[in-house]
Amino acid sequence: MTGKGTDRRRRSSGGDLVTRGGAATIVAPAAAVVAVFLVFPALWTLYLGLTNRGLTGINAANPQFVGLENYTTALSDPALWNSLQVTFIFVSGSAIVGQAVLGFTLAWVFRNWQSWVRRALELLVVVAWIVPSSVVAFLWVAFLDGESGTLNAILGIETEWLLRHPLLSVIVFNTWRGTAFSMLLFGAALNSLPPSYLETSRLAGASPLQQLFDIILPSIKGYIITNLLLISLWTFNDFSPYLITGGGPAGATEVLPIYIYNESIRFGELGFGSAISAIMLVINLLIALSYLRAGRSRS
Amino acid sequence: MRDFVVRVAFIGFSAFVGAFFALPMLWLVFAPFDSTPTLAAQIPEFTLENFSDLLSNASALRSLGNSLILVAGVVGVVLLVGAPASYVLSRIKFPGRDVFLYMLLLMSSVITGAAAMVPLFLLTFELGLNDRFPGVILVLAGGMLPASIFILKDFTDTTPRSYEESARVFGATTLQTLRDVVVPVIRPGLAVISVWTAVNVWSNFLIPFILLRSPSKSPAAVLMYSFYTEGGQPNLRLIAAFSLLYTVPILLLYGYVNRKYGFRFHGGLKS
């Protein structure tokens, strides 16, 4: 009886509930879904970008290999340069300046405040983050409306925000939309600091600003880098400006995802759109790799 | 004097933050109950008629049903193929396992819907899945499986193997052990990824927008968009009631998970 027990135990500590062959069978379906619907599309787009594949007509049925033509066309397209510039301003303005700075300020200013007001404010910030994007997009279209929007009613003016200041509008929108993540992450970072850090520096006579720059920011550097890379990646891949402005007026808010959508799915230039997608994937990969590197040097 | 200035700045900042985040949201709170809503947030002339109208609007109800189908489909795929895979990956060590998992996670954050919309569009077309729910479900599941497997593996790693071993010692079969020991122990993990997946699918706009062409198949995210962008005077009573009905499930699910498990930082989830 004892012999049987140890025998079973030995067997289970070696192979557990499943054998290796069984393990492969169990992992296979998940691996297949990921391989076909995640990995393959990325590799395929590298190839499609070298063809003149179209949505309709002869280039749909019988696409030709055109080498790097899509890339040379893209580089001489002013609309692409405009889109890259818009994307850069959108990401740096709404993710890095907007979300990260506002998120950190919220976490820092409210860190010792125990009150229902703080909890209510934080709840508001989080709700703005989780409401579905097509709903928040409409809320902002209504809020910024020139004739009857709430913002103009408060300010007593009739500015058509989405026509006069389109890029600024989507930057403020995306700051509103995404600050919660930075606030929560920096809140966790500040909580992880030992209280003695601040105690010592306060006793040494440091002002709150000195504490912030000399002690707090350097000790949560890892969190800051993590946060900046993640929110840049997400904002770079964010399609929601489309829901507010459709990329307009006249390309003023045409971030890269909207440019790809317009070129490939609206105008049917699938090969050309694939080339731009490939560029976007490479940029994503660079951001993600620097995230991993930052993570490794931290640990 | 200095304390006074700090105090005023603090109150000013809090008031600004409150106004900035609350004002755009007010419309969603008031307009659904207003008999004559405008684009501005205003105190409503209270009515529930917008909702009774909504309940007789076939396309609005159908779109919520479509969203439910997509959610059920993706959560189903993630649990059925993802949960067993994560269990196995937690319990069986093979060389390069951790690198493999990190590669998966890396790919799922690099290959986003926005960056891969063209090949995804063509792939579903070539597979005959264009304008069909299974296409959307598989594409969304492909994007969410890596992170789900990663989280679930974390949960499984923290549960002691000895539970399973004792069950085996007492003669339980593999299936019994899985059902009676493993599943109950990792249930919080299953709940977290189900809710996380559901919230993401319910809100996702881009993938169904690209892959589904028939208006009758639009999920709520896409129908909401067409409500205010298709020509003509938008029907604000319908939009208001629909926005609220579409948003509430998300708030409830998030509230549930947040109360039970709190904010956890999982190397960057939330797509």
The interface pTM score, or ipTM, of the predicted complex is 0.89
Chain A: residue whose CA lies nearest to B135? A37
Residue B186's pLDDT is what? Answer: 83
Structure confidence by residue, pLDDT tens digits, B211-250: 999 999 999 999 999 988 887 778 888 999 999 999 999 8
Check residue B59 and report its DSSP letter: H
DSSP string for B147-214: HHHHHHHHHHHTS-HHHHHHHHHTT--HHHHIIIIIHHHTHHHHHHHHHHHHHHHHH--HHHHHH---
Residues 6+ apart with CB under 8 A from A14: none
- Determine the structural domain holding residue A110 and report its residue range: 69-298
Q: What is the CATH number of the domain that holds A111?
A: 1.10.3720.10
Find out whether B210 and B117 touch, Cβ atoms under 8 Å: yes
- A171 in a domain, yes or no? yes
The total domain count for chain A is 1
Residue A279: what pLDDT?
Answer: 93
Rounded to whole angstroms, how far apart are CA atoms A143 and A121?
20
B57-87: pLDDT as tens digits: 888 999 999 999 999 999 999 999 999 899 8
Residue B257 in this model has a pLDDT that exceeds 80? no
A18 touches chain B (CB under 8 A): yes
Q: What angle do CA B44, B47, B53 make, to 5 degrees?
A: 120
Q: Which residue of A has its CA nearest to B147?
A: A34
Contact residues on chain A for B17, CB-CB shorter than 8 A: 106, 121, 125
For residue A222, give the nearest of A178, A181, A185 by alpha carbon: A185
Residues from chain B that touch A40, judged by Cβ atoms under 8 A, are 119, 123
Nearest CA in chain A to B78: A30
Contact status, residue A69 vs residue B151, Cβ threshold 8 Å = no
Q: How far is B115 from chain A (nearest CA, A)?
A: 5
User: What's the confidence (pLDDT) of residue A1?
Assistant: 39
pLDDT category at B88 given cuts 50, 70, 90 is: confident
A60 within a domain of the structure (yes/no): no
B101 to chain A, any CB pair closer than 8 A? The answer is no
Task: Give per-residue pLDDT as tens, B158-211.
Answer: 878 888 888 888 887 777 877 788 888 888 888 888 988 999 999 999 999 999
Assign 3-class secondary structure to A102-114.
HHHHHHHHCCCCC
Is the per-residue pLDDT at B101 higher than 70? yes
Query: Which of A230, A264, A257, A260 lies closest to A241, judged by CA?
Result: A257
pLDDT at res. A4: 42
Residue A299 at interface with chain B, using a CB cutoff of 8 Å? no
Domains in chain B: ranges and CATH: 72-211 (1.10.3720.10)
pLDDT along chain A (299 residues), means of 10: 41 54 85 94 92 81 83 90 95 94 93 87 92 94 90 89 94 95 91 79 78 85 88 94 91 95 90 93 91 68
Q: What percent of chain B has pLDDT over 70?
A: 96
Pairs of CB atoms within 8 A across A/B: 272
Q: Is A215 on the interface with B (CB under 8 A)?
A: no
On whether any CB of chain A is under 8 Å from the CB of B56, the answer is no
Higher pLDDT, residue B255 or A103:
A103
Interface of A with B in 139-158 (CB under 8 A): 139-143, 145, 147-151, 153-154
Residue A81 included in any domain: yes
Domain annotation covers residue A49: no
Residue A158 located in a structural domain: yes
The answer to whether position A21 is within a domain reads no
Contacts B243 to A, Cβ<8 Å: 135, 138-139
A50 interface with B at CB cutoff 8 Å? no
Check residue B265 and give its pLDDT. 44
Global pTM reads 0.89
User: What pLDDT sits at residue A206?
Assistant: 77
Residue A40 lies in a domain: no
Beta carbons within 8 Å of A215's beta carbon, 6+ residues apart: A197, A198, A201, A206
Report CB contact under 8 Å: A150, B41: yes
B142 shares contact with chain A (CB less than 8 Å) = yes
Residue A55 lies in a domain: no
Model confidence at B50, pLDDT cuts 50, 70, 90, reads: confident
Q: In chain A, what residues touch B141 (CB-CB under 8 Å)?
A: 33, 37
By Cβ distance, the residue of B38, B111, B254 closest to A281 is B111
* Residues constituting chain A: 299
Mean pLDDT of all residues in chain B? 87
